[in-house]
Chain A
Amino acid sequence: GAVVSQHPSRVICKSGTSVKIECRSLDFQATTMFWYRQFPKQSLMLMATSNEGSKATYEQGVEKDKFLINHASLTLSTLTVTSAHPEDSSFYICSARDLSNTEAFFGQGTRLTVV
């Protein structure tokens, strides 16, 4: 299957700082990328959908000024958690969908811990 690389896999940051997470599709062009948040033993919660070259569409309840998403190219999307707080600690996962608009492939996830 196609490969989606997410970096970093783990990050610890101080409260009030910002953290950037990168999501790259390595062997295909991703017109759409999705960002999810996952709490322990729970399913994926969609945060936002981003299309290359346009603004991300955020799900209800997700603060767009806090979770900045940039989909600058067909192979790269970034999620920046701004002014992070301990309650933002979670597992963040991206997924990318190719031009054929069928299945989506996931990154390895990023474990964010805000101290």
Chain B
Amino acid sequence: QKEVEQDPGPLSVPEGAIVSLNCTYSNSAFQYFMWYRQYSRKGPELLMYTYSSGNKEDGRFTAQVDKSSKYISLFIRDSQPSDSATYLCAMNPLDTGNQFYFGTGTSLTVIP
């Protein structure tokens, strides 16, 4: 079983839709949770990070963490064509510190 599971998609939605991206994990030691956006042929860009259960909002993006279910989500409201990218979730344990564990990424296309 992989440490982090993420549906690779592809996911295609119309402009203005609400997008829900999800990851599940198996290691209860994970404490930091991050979402990255990666455009084609570019390095990943950090979108949001959180280290507690609950919601964190930043503009059109909301990150949600449910540690009891080992489940994290990224919601994108009023999706735009410029949101078309691959979204990667990443996690990191608090104690060992170093290694990040990534999901495989979900490819999202927002259709104008």
Contact = CB atoms under 8 A, between A and B. Distances in A.
A97 B90 CA distance: 13
Nearest to B34: A103
Interface size grouping (class) on chain A: 20 to 34
Interface in A77-115: 91, 93, 95, 97, 101-109, 111
A101 B44 contact: no
A46 B100 CA distance: 9
A62 interface: no
Find the residue from B44, B98, B99 having the highest chain A CB count within 10 A: B44
Contacts of B92: 102
A107 to B, nearest CB: 5
A84 to B, nearest CB: 20
Contacts of A54: none
B71 interface: no
Contact of A106 (B44, B97, B104): B44
A44 B44 contact: yes
A101 B100 CA distance: 11
Contacts of B36: 106
A102 B32 contact: yes
A107 B36 CA distance: 12
B100 A108 contact: no
Interface of B: 32, 34, 36, 41-46, 49, 51, 88, 90, 92, 97-100, 102-105, 107
